Amino acid sequence: MPTPYEISTDPTRLDAARVHHWLSTDAYWALGRSRETQDRAIAGSLNFGAYDPGTGEQAGYARVITDRATFAWLCDVYVTPAARGRGLGRALVEAVCDHLEPYGLRRTLLATHDAHGLYERAGFRPLERPGHWMARETR
C-alpha cells in the first residue's frame, strides 16, 4: 500500500524540535531524552523524515547509525499519532532498507518492545544467537 507521505534523507528538512518533542514525550525508549542529546544523535546519524506532500509538515522519523560498509542500527522510528494506521511506519522502514541495500551490509539490527510485526514484514528476524551479544550500559 503506497503511503501518501514523502520520505527524504535531506537533513535540512528535519524539524529537530519536533523530533525531540515526539521522542522525549511519547516514545517509551527515549522518554526524557534531552534536546542536546537528540541533536547530537541526529548529527551523527543517517536520518529519514516523512513529510506530508501538501503541507511539508513532518509526520514521521527514523534514524540509522551505520558505517555504510558492514553494520547498521535502526532506531528512533516514530510516526505521529495523527498519521498512524496509514502505512507510514512500514514505508519508513522500507525506505531505510532500500537506502541501505546498496551498501551490502552484513547486518542491520534494531530493538523493539511492541512492533515486531512491522519489522518482520521488512525481513527482520529475532537474533539467531542472542547469547552472543553483549551490551555495556551506562547512565
Query: pLDDT by residue (tens digit) across 31-56?
Result: 999 999 999 999 999 999 999 999 99
Domain-embedded: residue 16: yes
124 inside domain: yes
pLDDT of residue 1: 52
Q: Is the pLDDT of residue 138 over 90?
A: no
User: Into how many domains does the chain fold?
Assistant: 1
> What is the distance between the alpha carbons of residues 52 and 85, in angstroms, rounded to a whole number?
15
> 34: part of which helix (H) or strand (E)?
none
Question: Facing residues of 61 across strands?
Answer: 49, 78
Residue 85 domain-assigned (yes or no): yes
Q: Which of 49, 62, 50 is nearest to 4 (CA)?
A: 50
Task: Note whether residue 102 is domain-resident.
Answer: yes
Contact 64, 48 (CB under 8 A): yes
Determine, yes or no, domain membership for 138. no
Q: What one-character-per-residue DSSP string does 76-114 give? A: EEEE-GGGTTSSHHHHHHHHHHHHHGGGT-SEEE---SS
pTM here is 0.93
The answer to whether residue 1 sits within a structural domain is: no
Q: Assess if residue 59 is contained within a domain.
A: yes
pLDDT (0 to 100) of residue 34: 97
Q: Is 100 exposed, middle or buried (0-12, 13-18, 19+ CB in 10 A)?
A: middle
Count of CB atoms situated within 10 Å of the CB of 35: 13
**CATH number of domain containing 109:** 3.40.630.30
Check if the beta carbon of residue 70 is closer than 8 Å to that of residue 106.
yes
In sequence order, which ranges of the chain are alpha helices (DSSP H)?
16-26, 35-43, 88-100, 116-120
> Which residue range forms the structural domain that includes residue 36?
6-132
Confirm whether 137 is domain-assigned.
no
pLDDT band at 110 (very low <50, low <70, confident <90, very high): very high
Strand partners, 92: none
